[in-house]
Structure 1
Amino acid sequence: MSTMTGTGSTSSGSVRTDAGRGRGLRLSGMNWLIWRQHRAAYWTLLAATAVTVAVIVYQRQQMITYLDGYGYPGLKSGWEDEFDPGPLNSAAHLLGLLPVLIGVFLGAPLLAGDLESGTAKLVNAQSVSRVRWLATKLGVTTLVVVVSTTAVSVAFTWWWSPVKSSSYVLSWFDPSAFDSSGPVPVALSLLTVVGGVAIGMLLRRTLLSMVVTLGFAVALQVVWSHFRMSLGNVITVTSHNGVGDNSQPHVPDSANVLDQSYLTASGDLVGWGSCNGQTEQATNACLEKTQVVGWSLDYIPISQMPSMQWLGTSILLALTAGIAAFVILWGRKRLV
């Protein structure tokens, strides 16, 4: 790019030209160069973040105005009757797409564009090493992603918190809720972005890299959805009051019930559907034959949500660090 060509005769510690002094962000050297090269993508992401946060703040004010009529924060019964969960649910689903969009439109072209256009070859003509160039690209990009996703996540969590304990609005274990609050959006976005950078470095074609990154992001979401609930500590409760009405053991409000089974006198578990689908007489005979005495329920309470999110985040960040290390090591010798 012309910006890079114009800095070829400068030292590594002063890549920024005099024309750039005193304008915009007060960056210098390689940081300024990377920001200027990708400033359109960075500013677009930051501007979208500002708009999203502003909308969330407005929607929360509307929600609190409604909840005040029911004694918020100590909500009275019946507040759900006229509450509209649509904006909150829609926002959660849209925010779930954030890692995919950032990975495809920011991560994939980051190196693929330079490699496809030949700009990356200019690195060899500069006094700045490939490692520093790659590290700065990753560093500045991840910083922008962290700032943006953290702001959106904090705003959404703040919006959702007054009604978080109610499954009527948004169940905490739903992917749209779990992945749009706390540290999870930040970790998912970073992994998708850095994964997209690695894909772009290997494929060296911008459009192809974006398509493959889209596939990678979708696959990541699928794997994460199957893995998410395994982060929790499953609690088992039993009852010995038969299987009639109100015989099931008590579980906390908003708990995620993973499984329920019949409990026999010997302590064995029998699938609750094994005696269903028959006449009442046949069902009772089946229950008596298998010596069913009560229920066994497996669940995860909402109180485990923060620890599950942070555990999952640590795993995602570890994977991100591994991919980033691969990008640096591979690019040091095989970038061009």
Structure 2
Amino acid sequence: MSTMTSTDSTSYDSAAAETGRGRGLRLSGMNWLVWRQHRAAYWTMLAATAITVAVIVYQRQQMITYLDGYGYPDLKPGWEDKFDQGPLNSAARLLGLLPVLIGVFLGGPLLAGDLESGTAKLVNAQSASRVRWLATKLGMSALVVVVCTTAVSAAFTWWWSPVRSSSYALTWADPAGFDNSGPVPVALTLLTVVGGVAIGMLLRRTLLSMVVTLGFAVALQVVWSYFRMSLGNVITVTTHNGVGNDSAPNMPEGAHQLDEFYLTASGDLIGWGSCAEQTEKARDACLDKAQVVGWSVDYIPISQMSSMQWLGASILLALTAGIAAFVILWGRKRLV
């Protein structure tokens, strides 16, 4: 099988008898069997996490060395001029792929491989119950996923935090910043993995399950991208000083602007493109005709980022728990 998840035809009773000879992790019984069966995937994730964290620590040290020249932590104006944002942007793009990759290569084959090869029937014939087997598979895989994604998320958040309030080095409301820091990567990855497990349980074919899990992971990312900003409380600020160059509303540093409108004397809002005339004279005439007196801007301050992330992660984890319960209940009676 060309996936990271391997199948083991050794019976549960035989595996349990050999636990005393195991080296490394001191596991026994079903825990040892699941770890041994999927050790390639687990060790790959742990090793990749260690390397990723080491690279992030090095890159942050390089960034701090540069920022120290501009008075970090109280940065002086002009620090953005020569700041190399390439490593941070590249890391954000790569880390954004982790939920998809882990879901496809760990979640999809986790049960589908056993069902396709017949290992599930062999395990079912032993003394261990299906529920215990399923719970151990899900629990151990979830533990490894949580450890790895938490470590990477914490490291990336630590790396990004000195320049987080500046839109020059990642915008906090975009996926590159929001989805790679805090609890969001953990919740997104868990939902993708458990969703892949459910897909594999229903389809019972490894390759097909991986393909469908890929589609599920991409669809989840798309839905999440539309849903993300609705987690915040929108703040509206208005002005009545006209629409000249110096009349723009003042927003907190790092605020994410959602939309802006012209404000009329009657209190109505019209789109800022309503008077997008070719000449300044024509534009001013349009504004006068509409009786525009100022701006109205909707935004979300960066101070809401943490609460938005935890709220979003809670919703994702609730969905994950629901799918995990479905896997246990369905597999209890219909797995083989």
- TM-score, length basis structure 1: 0.96
Unaligned 5+ segments in structure 2 are: 1-6
Residue of structure 2 equivalent to 1:167? 167
Check if 1:8 corresponds to 2:37.
no
1:287 aligned onto 2:274? no
Q: Please give the secondary structure, in 2, of the residue aligned with 1:304.
A: helix
Q: 1: distance between equivalents of 2:315 and 2:198? A: 19
Aligned position for 1:239: 239
Contact persistence 2:57–2:155 (CA under 8 A): yes
Q: Which residue of 2 aligns with 1:205?
A: 205
Q: What's the counterpart of residue 134 of structure 1?
A: 134
* Separation in 2, partners of 1:302, 1:185: 19
Q: In structure 2, what is the Cα distance between the partners aligned to 1:85 and 1:252? A: 23
Give the C-alpha shift of residue 18 in structure 1. Answer: 3.5
Rounded Cα–Cα distance in structure 1 between residues aligned with 2:155 and 2:87: 14
Aligned-pair distance for 1:20? Answer: 4.3
TM-score, normalising length from structure 2?
Answer: 0.96
Give, as a single letter, the amino acid of the residue that structure 1 aligns with 2:13: G
Q: Structure 2 counterpart of 1:31, which letter?
A: N
Quick check: 1:3–1:37 contact (8 Å CA) kept in 2?
no
- After superposition, the Cα gap between the structure-2 partners of 1:317 and 1:117, relative to the gap in structure 1 and judged at 3 Å, is same
Distance 1:63 1:318 in 2: 37
Alpha carbons of 1:256 and 1:298: their partners in 2 closer, same or farther (altered >3 Å)? Answer: same
Provide Cα deviations, 1:279-334, integer angstroms capped at 9, x if missing partner. 22221121111111000000001000000000000000000000000000100011
* Match runs of 1:57-96 below 5 Å: 57-96=57-96
How many aligned positions are there? 330
- Which whole-Å CA distance do the structure 1 matches of 2:125 and 2:218 have between them? 38
Q: 1:19 to 1:255 in 2, by over 3 A?
A: closer
Q: Is the 8 A contact 2:111 2:201 kept in 1?
A: yes
Counterpart residue type for residue 117 of structure 1: S
Secondary structure, aligned partner of 1:88: helix
- Correspondence list, 1:215-234, <5 A: 215-234=215-234
1:223 and 1:2, CA in 2 relative to 1: closer, same or farther beyond 3 A? closer
Q: What is the match of residue 107 of structure 1?
A: 107
Name segments (4+ residues, structure 1) moved above 4 Å: none
1:261 counterpart SS class: strand
**CA distance in structure 1 between the aligned counterparts of 2:13 and 2:53, rounded to whole angstroms:** 40
Structure 1 vs Structure 2 CA RMSD: 1.2
Shift of 1:24: 1.2
Same amino acid, percent of matched pairs: 82
Q: Note if contact 2:110-2:200 (Cα within 8 Å) is conserved in structure 1.
A: yes
CA contact (8 A) 2:262 2:294 kept: yes
In the TM superposition, 1:310-321 aligns within 5 A as 310-321=310-321
Q: Could you give the per-residue CA deviations for residues 100-146 of structure 1, whole angstroms, max 9, x where no partner exists? A: 00000000000000000000001221110000100000000000000
Task: Tell me if structure 2 keeps the 8 A contact 1:196–1:213.
Answer: yes
Q: Distance in 2 between matches of 1:128 and 1:4?
A: 14
- Residue 8 of structure 1 aligns to a residue in which SS? helix
Residue 8 of structure 2 contacts residue 119 of structure 2 at CA under 8 Å; is this kept in 1?
no
